[in-house]
Amino acid sequence: MKKTFIFIIFSCYIYAYSFNFIEFFDASSFHYKFDTFIGTDYFPHQDNYQNNYQEPNIFTAGWNFKVQDNVNIWFDLTYRKRLFNEQLELESTGIAYNVNNWDFIFRSDRIEIGDRSKIFEKNVFSSFYDIPVIEDYKLRSFETIKYLGNFNISGMVGGNSFNSAIGKLNLGYSNKNHNIDVYYLFVKRDRIFTYPMHALGLETHTDLDKVFIYNSIAYENMISNLTNHPSRERFVDLSEIIFYLHPNINIGTNLLYTIFDWEVEEEWQSTSFFELIFAKFSNTVSYKYWNAEIGFNREINLLNSVNILPYWSLATNLSYNNPSIGDDYYIIGFQTEIEYEMD
């Protein structure tokens, strides 16, 4: 009797809240990305040197579900391994509701600024691969976005246990080839000095048939009320340009510049590349040049890649490093990149 009663209640529930799972999954999209480097370093001028095995891995996968015509929910999982740091986390999840050119979004996600460089994404072993170079904050937040034609205005409030309160205001413009964002960012505890931080920034992104231009500029003011810990300022600029000279030839360069307190404490690096493409094969030579405490460091990288499938590439990866202090050395290995999307 009890089992019959439970079955009747369950049947009524299914009838009252019937759900078409086939239609649900048909209205969803899936993405998968796996990037890995397997190799070793080699110091030719050091006797009895034991090689260090290098294996950075980055894996992301996620699903976006269209619950209703104007409601989406999603989740993204990310696994990263660099040196001895290994981490699997829920990168992003949330719900978005759209009505009358408004978006209302509640999510656990990241604020990432300075993450659209195409040059940094060529070498999986690069220090800035898959890393925003200007701002990167994990938070839970509520965001509203108002769309006015090609323009949009948004406001976000949230935070996390370390940075405390985080807020962001943004004015954006976008069309098929251009994106412009002007923003103000407030963080109660900055990730570097743990001071309250106010930041103003500008990001522009242009992607045309013959040229790609990306620029991200930010000014940060970190305010301290302690006499023995002065306030700090930071200015960061990432500028990048790529020319598609021919269907088989690409060249480009970028510059990442950072200065603290408008004094001599500055950091900068520049990476340039030349790429030849033949059918499924590509050969890329890049030159990286950056300042150090004493002198300058240099790196020359050679990538020989083949597209095995439209979403899968495999490459040999060879780097020659000429540091300002210490012996020259090589990084030798293979990298593979898999990126698949299903709409």
Residue 23: is its pLDDT beyond 60? no
The pLDDT assigned to 127 comes to: 85
Per-residue pLDDT averaged across 112-131, rounded? 92
Q: Provide the residue type at 53 as one letter.
A: Y
The pLDDT assigned to 15 comes to: 47
The bridge status of strand 57-68 relative to strand 71-82 is antiparallel
Distance, in Å, from the CA atom of 128 to the CA atom of 115, rounded to the nearest integer, reads: 9
Residue 87: is its pLDDT beyond 90? no
Per-residue pLDDT averaged across 169-174, rounded? 98
Q: State the burial class of residue 216 (Cβ atoms within 10 Å of its Cβ: 0-12, 13-18, 19+).
A: buried
Per-residue pLDDT averaged across 201-225, rounded? 95
Specify the CATH number of the domain 2-342: 2.40.160.10
The pLDDT assigned to 260 comes to: 86
Contact between residue 240 and residue 250 where contact means Cβ atoms under 8 Å apart: no
Residue 9: is its pLDDT beyond 80? no
**Residue 254: both structure tokens together:** 């970028």
Handedness of CA 319, 325, 328, 332 (dihedral sign): negative
159 conformational bin, left if phi > 0, alpha if psi -120 to 50, beta if neither: left
The pLDDT assigned to 20 comes to: 54
Assign 84 a pLDDT band (cuts: 50, 70, 90).
low
CA max distance for the chain: 84
